A = this chain, B = another copy of it.
Amino acid sequence: MNISVIPTIQEARVEELRRKTVIVIDVLRATSTMLAALASGCRAVIPVETVEQAKELQLPGHLLGGERGCRRIPGFDLGNSPLEYTPSVVGGSVLVMTTTNGTRAIRKAEQAGRILAGSLLNARACAGKALALGREIVILCSGTRDIFSLEDGLGAGAIVDELLSAYTGSGRQGDHLQVNDFGLAMLHAFRAANGNLEGALLACENGRRLVSLGFREDVAYCSRLNAIEAAPEIADGRLQLFPTLTSL
């Protein structure tokens, strides 16, 4: 089975995503925040690219969330901080969300066979679900305005690490996992940083920017490896927690 990690949205070729499982990663902070929302009981997240699209899709009972320049959009209910998405705020609701990079990455992945939302928070759950789906796996790092972002690379490396562990643990014979060179680099990087993921995230460009804007606690939250046991999937434009593997 082939596993490819792609460093930025720009470098993803739509034809390379078809019929595969694509795991979209935006550790700081879009996919981490979507995960936090779903873990808090939000029923579905509808990712959209523009503020206008978000407003058009806001039905009664829907919340608007997202950011531009890391900050809450005027008129929106919520920003892009995972700490805002508590059960009392988002439980039972549908969330319409737009962010600068993460929602763009999800749109780019629309041609994929299956689309999962991944981050450090759910690396193990993502790996397990992707393996169970049995397709080739592409891990798409959102990056920041077409530049590679370290935190997404570490998230990708964490998922590759979990894929290798799960695959070895399953005792499968014959076929083996073939990881592309960029994925191997991210695997090495994750293993080196794993002792202090929070430190690694604080040292990278987006981490430093978030700290300067007062979001240091968000960086700490997003660095919590495998804190959430769920691999949400996008179907019909909605990100949801579908039945877990064991019940499939």
Contact = CB atoms under 8 A, between A and B. Distances in A.
Given A7-B7, A180-B205, A205-B180, A150 B185 contact: yes
The dominant DSSP class at the A interface is helix
A-side interface size class: 20 to 34
Contacts of A200: 184, 188
Contact of A147 (B181, B185, B191, B193): B181
Copies in the complex: 2
B185 A153 contact: yes
A189 interface: yes
Contacts of A184: 150, 200, 203-204
Contacts of A205: 180-181
A149 B180 CA distance: 9
Nearest to A204: B181
B181 A189 contact: no
A167 interface: no
A182 interface: yes
Interface string A171-213: 0000000001110111011111100000010011100000000
Nearest to A5: B148
B181 A188 contact: no
A148 B181 contact: yes
What 4 A-B pairs come out closest when comparing CB atoms? Answer: A188-B189, A192-B192, A188-B192, A150-B181
Given A186-B189, A188-B190, 16 more contacts: A7-B7, A147-B181, A148-B182, A149-B181, A150-B181, A150-B182, A150-B185, A154-B188, A180-B205, A184-B203, A184-B204, A185-B186, A188-B193, A189-B192, A191-B192, A192-B192
